[in-house]
Amino acid sequence: MADNRKEQERAELHRVIWDIACNIVHAGTVDQSEFKQYVLGVMFYRYISENLTEYVNQIEQAAGNADFDYSKMTDEQAESAKKLLINKKGFFILPSELFCNLQEKAAADDNLNETLARIFKNIENSAQGTESENDFKGLFDDVDVNSNKLGGTVTERNKTLVMLLDGIAKMKLGNYQDTTIDVFGDAYEYLISMYASSAGKKGGEFYTPQEVSELLTKITLVGKTEVNKVYDPAVGSGSLLLNFAKILGKDNVRQGFFGQEKNITTYNLCRINMFLHNIGYDKFNIAHGDTLINPQHWDDEPFEAIVSNPPFATKWEGDANPVLINDPRFSPAGILAPKGNADFAFIMHSLSWLATNGTAAIVCFPGIMYRSGAEKKIRQYLIDNNYIDAIIQLPSNLFFNTPIATCIMVLKKSKSENKTLFVDASKEFIKVTNGNKLTSENVETILNRYIERADKEYISRLVHNAEIEENDYNLTVSTYIEQEDTREKIDIDVLLEESKKNIVQTNALRSEFDGIIAQILEGGNE
């Protein structure tokens, strides 16, 4: 019954989001590439407004004030609790600036854009000088309420903002003790996937299919019920990290969730996503910047679990920067990843950040498994030092806008055997409208193949590293796992017998045909 209710709530939420899109995007008011920023930003504003209200109300009601409602307090009364609330929640919102109070008066506010801009700035400023400052700084930068993208005039912009506020106000978000967080998370993923398929490579930069994300997470958690902390060097929207909260429970990620993101918009979305999934400001550390050139978290304890889907074949400075060859992340291999393909730079970075007892699971472009040059030398370093635990071939067409069959590289620093597991999971999928998809059963099947580490014809094979060396450090799964011949098997004896019968029948038909021709010719001569 509960699952059915959740599905109903999810369907209703998707309907409301679609209605907002029809009114704003499909009517030509806001470009679809900008739509999610505005919706997510305002959703976040509503979320923290209601989250703060709920928190204060619970405290007051527990103290016997049954009819208390923070949203109905005066700003002057609320100011007295400002410091306490910031210490606990990381931010503060005046009652007059709560989402519900703003939305109620929005249609009559001729300066709505300015009002909303001021509220966003006040929320960010409330965290200044506190531990949560970096988590809130610039969080609403991508929600530009004065942008011409919302309309050519102030009146048009405010009209769009009213539609946005009214639409988000209609979302049935439920009780915070029940389904709110799940619903917000689902809304986020729905918005991301809504236009990811039409956003080209830009969409694929931050959106990893949920099932692939789940598989990566489960691989790193084999044999564990808790970890010290989790990390993604190309964190995107943060969806990979948040799977740890879903699978383990956020309290079993003891020190929290860490990541770094180069794209400022995606960086902001990631921080919002953390809050929307009820990850407290003191439980995540998301940094902005280029991980390969300016990595953060240098001084942190190594990470017990690392997951990542770094951008494929992205350019980086490589050997054009003479400093990088001495970087302790890259120097052990004795060579840098090519300037035109930074894939192995992300892999070496992840290995450097990995704890001795940790596991890293990284989505990889297949070309890096067999190409020569610098990439071969890095593969040799990884194999000779026994850092690669497994290579898992995934089905093709799992990701938006790329039909390529990607693979997963699993890294460990403390292996008990000098062998590497190869798994061919290329057939573990179902077809859907826009490509292929891993089901829950597919995920569990692939995970079990990884856990079992057994030889299974056409599917998995545990290969001694010496054999990989003999194959010139080629890590392509098909090099070590024979492909099953699915062609129809033909019995030669049966085929010969049928051929003989066909010959007899053909000769009989030919004789019959010759007789007919002869009769025709005789008739013609009479």
pLDDT value of position 26: 63
Read out DSSP for 361-388? EEEE-GGGGT--THHHHHHHHHHHTT-E
d(CA 156, CA 492): 78
Average pLDDT, the chain: 88
pLDDT value of position 4: 63
Average pLDDT over residues 152-166: 93
pTM of the predicted model as reported, rounded to 2 decimal places: 0.85
* Residue-wise pLDDT tens digits, 460-500: 999 999 999 999 999 999 999 998 766 666 667 777 777 77
Domain 2-196 top-level CATH class: mainly alpha
pLDDT at residue 428 tops 50: yes
Interacting residues of 138 by C-beta distance below 8 A, sequence separation 6+: 124, 268
* Residue-wise pLDDT tens digits, 369-413: 999 999 999 999 999 999 999 999 999 998 866 778 899 999 999
Answer yes or no: same fold for 2-196 and 203-480: no
Among the listed residues 437, 443, 430, 402, the one whose alpha carbon sits nearest the alpha carbon of residue 205: 402
pLDDT value of position 177: 42
Interacting residues of 466 by C-beta distance below 8 A, sequence separation 6+: 418
pLDDT value of position 257: 97
Domain spanning 203-480: CATH superfamily: Vaccinia Virus protein VP39 (3.40.50.150)
* Residue-wise pLDDT tens digits, 85-117: 999 999 999 999 999 999 999 999 999 999 999
- Given pLDDT bands bounded at 50, 70 and 90, which one contains residue 340? very high
* Residue-wise pLDDT tens digits, 188-238: 667 766 665 544 444 444 468 889 999 999 999 999 999 999 999 999 889
pLDDT value of position 248: 94
pLDDT value of position 127: 95
Average pLDDT over residues 311-335: 94
pLDDT at residue 300 tops 80: yes
pLDDT value of position 176: 42
Could you tell me the two tokens for 14? 């998707």
* Residue-wise pLDDT tens digits, 70-79: 999 999 999 9
Could you tell me the two tokens for 311? 């951008």
Domain boundaries, the chain: 2-196, 203-480
Interacting residues of 480 by C-beta distance below 8 A, sequence separation 6+: 422, 461, 463, 467, 471
Q: Percentage of residues in the chain with pLDDT exceeding 70?
A: 88
Q: How many other CB atoms sit within 10 Å of the CB of residue 458?
A: 13
